[in-house]
Amino acid sequence: MRRPLLSVPTSRRGLFGLAGLALVATACGGDSDTPDERPTTPGSPLWVFAPHGVASAAPAVQVGDTVYVARNGASVYAISARDGSSRWESPTGTSASRPALVDDLLVTGLGGGDLVALDTAGGEERWRVPTSGMGVMAAPAVADGTAFVGGLDGVVRAVAVADGAELWTVTTGGQFFADPQLRDGAVHLGGSDGLLTAWEVADGAERWSFDTGEGMVSTAAFVGDLVCVGTAGGRVHAVDARSGEPGWTSDVSGQVIDPVAAEGLVLAPCPSGRRLHALDGESGEERWQATVSGELLPVAVRGDTVYYPAEPGLLVAAELATGTVRWEFEIGAAEAPGESVLNLAVSNDTLYLGTDQATAIALTT
């Protein structure tokens, strides 16, 4: 439920026992009399998609009037962006990563192993690339008909989206949990070996490699000519995206999970350090920080607003430039089942939450 800015309770765990919730899609239009009358107040619930009350596996992806979501350990779904009604289900038997859409195909990695492509019309599997039985946790990056992804087998792959043919592979000494990022003809990807590497998209030749020396490297974020990554060592490194030459380094409060770049800022989520840091993209100096709690800290940005969970069950919308809180939304009621926000995604004027009890919850931004 959306609520005015009041003092935040220390815990809401156990307030709402919603295990086994069988909601599939419920229009939650606030004061609306019909599902077609969209609420205008930011943070208003629109619908919830929660088959069997099972957790979300990955952030939602909206393309046109369809939202693609994944249910933990089970299936990929196509649902209506208007009301959350299901259009098709494709059982995977394992969790799927955030999908990438290319023409009429949905490309996603599977936690139990393999990279697969599903037909967007009905969810049928079109092709599958084996990954030695090791999982693909990362979301693929796509460009010019090619999908790029790194797996837990330590292999970076370039795959033709049309038929799943492997165009090139690079075997490394690490594992990949981060999403690959494309820029200026290179695939940028950090691994568990502490390396951030740029490979040529054309043939996989290494362009440069930067050794952070600090264990796990996060998904990269670009600010100007810099590529920024966080590490398990509690630092954010900015590197020249063209040459790999080091720029600035900023110490933060703990391991950095998937920084986000927006409006000249690098947002560095540090759930272990109980902070969200907003760093200047040019210098690395801290602009503001927010205190958080919980084991996960997903972040999404739309325009001048940043969204993140201040507590496991409390979503915050804050001013991007200053961190000033604008509104809060508490999960736990039937309109937003769950105790923890696991992932976030924003598309157009809709914010999508994945929780431990709902595959997707849609809110107005």
> What is the per-residue pLDDT across 196-228, written as a single tens digit (0 to 9) for each?
999 999 999 999 999 999 989 999 999 999 999
- The dihedral of CA 68, 364, 38, 348: what is its sign? negative
Q: Decide: 74 and 90 in contact? Cβ < 8 Å.
A: no
Q: What are phi and psi of 219, to 5 degrees?
A: -60, 145
Question: Is a pLDDT exceeding 70 seen at residue 23?
Answer: no
Strands 146-150 and 314-319: unpaired
Question: Is a pLDDT exceeding 80 seen at residue 27?
Answer: no
Separation CA 157–CA 147 (nearest Å): 8
Structure tokens at 36: 């077609």
Question: Is a pLDDT exceeding 80 seen at residue 181?
Answer: yes
- Residue partners of 74: CB distance under 8 A and separation at least 6: 54, 91, 92, 93, 95
pLDDT confidence bin for 71, thresholds 50/70/90: very high
Average pLDDT on 110-114 reads 96
Tens of pLDDT, residue by residue over 282-299, are 999 999 999 999 899 999
Separation CA 95–CA 363 (nearest Å): 24
Alpha carbons within 13 angstroms on the beta-carbon side of residue 293 total 11
Strands 314-319 and 350-355: unpaired
Q: Output the pLDDT for position 37.
A: 86
Question: Is a pLDDT exceeding 70 seen at residue 30?
Answer: no
Structure tokens at 288: 């503001």
